[in-house]
Amino acid sequence: MTQEVIVRFPPSPTGYLHIGGARTAIFNWLFAKKTGGKLILRIEDTDAERSTEESIKGIIKSLKWLGITWDEGPYFQSHFIKEHQAAAHKLLETGHAYKCFCTKETLDKKRKEALKKKGSLQYDGTCRDLKPEEISEKEAAGIPCTIRLKVPREEGSVYFEDIVYGFIEKKYKDIEDFVIVRSNGQPLYILSNTVDDIRDRITHVIRGQDGLGNTPKQILLYKALGAPIPKFAHMSLTLDPKKAKISKRTHGELVAVHFYRDHGFLPWALINFLVRLGWSTPDSRDIFTKEELIETFSLEGINRANSVFNVNKNDPKFFTDPKALSINSHYIRNLPVEEIVPYVKAELEKAGIWDPEFESGKRDWFLATVDLIRSRYHVTTEFATLGRAYFSDDYPIEKKALKKNILKHEGLKDWFSILADRLESVKIFSADEAEKVIRDIAEELDIKAGVLINGIRAAVTGQTVGPGLFDILIAIGQKRVVESLRKAVLLFD
């Protein structure tokens, strides 16, 4: 029987979930789904000073919004500190670790001297071979001690086959006897993380490439604790266009998952985009449904090269990677309209223009209108901004629309009135009927129909572009079209 796959996503709750963390979570989740395995959520909150309750809530909220589900947890690393300490004591008993009584001052002094002589900065092993009496003596004298792992001192190396990076090797002589428990009894993160992975029976550690430096030491810990060693897959990093690592510190909110939620991203579109950062199929396909992605995903498909994420702080419209926007607009355009309605509703609510009738009496109209206008939008917030006129009588007319499509043609002042009167008297207000009225008027007045069409579009939607005008008129409705045209006359005053 093949072993069940168990993976974990272990965020440190020191801030919001950013796109790099989300990408790690997504890869673990996809791998679990693909293999029929389990995903465990573990909150690595042992850094009490930097971990916050607010951040834990925020991370969980963002994962839920993305639709990433986990099978176990959240577990909290801080609940297992005794277990981490017990593991260290087991290592002492089995001779894989030792107590180190060197003070910080001594170590600092030795390091300074080594620096001067350009010698090794590694711990020199002073306490590695203390005799039991020496240890008892120091303990009796109340000298505090750390616990260090005994790294083999023979020739040789730690090595493993990383699923992404291939064969990785580190010589024993390049690893110092590292501290696993501080002198105040607090386990170091590297120990806690390993002990938790052992307890949770993690089979695959899928994490950022920045974890690669810890892996040889962790393998030594697995061996010393007599535990099976999981497989490792380190993922390439995501960099900004200047090749700086994407981080909360450098990019602020712009890389937070909630920023994308608040700026009109559909969760699946964000997942689809993030997966494509550093993972690809041979045909470089961009769009995947959830089922397709689970089917196609493989750890081997993760690229070694770092990926570039074009965050753009200075452009309020294209605030993020153009590819992210294009994937989002693909989903806005192509998902069954019912699936995007909840997101449109949320935007209209936020803008204060939601009408409960949109999901009862006016439901068919609402669905048809969302369907009509969605093809040009990149983010769902645009339903409430560019699309505001469809849902509210109180909408602005864009500067460009006002200048180019309305005020530039003085005649429109009268023509809008004529149009309003004639459209008002239409008995059955259909797209064909409205078109006929508008074209007839253009002919009667001997002006280009385009001037009327563009003028009406600007007046009733506030925009220079949009769907075909006659469809717009039906969506907005006879009464509101007539009112808007009469209001537009006043723009010339």
Q: Which residues of this chain interact with ligand GLU, rule CB under 6 A?
A: 10-12, 44, 193, 207, 211
Compute the C-alpha angle 95/97/99, nearest 5°: 110
Give the SS3 label for residue 184: coil
Which residues are within 8 A (CB) of 308 and not within 5 positions of it... i.e. 6 or more apart? Answer: 238, 239, 240, 241, 243
Minimal distance in Å, beta carbon 134 to ligand GLU?
36
> Which residue's CB is nearer to ligand GLU, number 232 or number 390?
232
Burial of 338 (0-12, 13-18, 19+ CB in 10 A): exposed
Instruction: Considering the candidates 61, 110, 248, 413, report the single residue annotated as catalytic.
Output: 248
Q: Could you tell me if 279 and 301 are in contact, meaning their C-beta atoms sit under 8 angstroms apart?
A: yes
Q: Could you tell me if 62 and 22 are in contact, meaning their C-beta atoms sit under 8 angstroms apart?
A: yes
> Which residue's CB is nearer to ligand GLU, number 135 or number 168?
168
Minimal distance in Å, beta carbon 98 to ligand GLU?
25
Does the annotation mark 487 as catalytic? Answer: no
> Which residue's CB is nearer to ligand GLU, number 215 or number 461?
215
> Which residue's CB is nearer to ligand GLU, number 209 or number 417?
209
Minimal distance in Å, beta carbon 211 to ligand GLU?
5
Paired with 488 in beta bridges are: none
φ/ψ (deg, to 5) at 279 = -145, 135
Q: Could you tell me if 224 and 253 are in contact, meaning their C-beta atoms sit under 8 angstroms apart?
A: no
What element of type H or E holds 6? Answer: strand 6-9
Minimal distance in Å, beta carbon 20 to ligand GLU?
9
201: left (phi over 0), alpha (psi -120 to 50) or beta: left
Check residue 462 and report its DSSP letter.
S
Measured distance CA(391)–CA(366) in Å, rounded:
9
> Which residue's CB is nearer to ligand GLU, number 12 or number 312?
12
Nearest by Cα to 234 from 301, 169, 163, 300: 163
Residues taking part in catalysis: 248
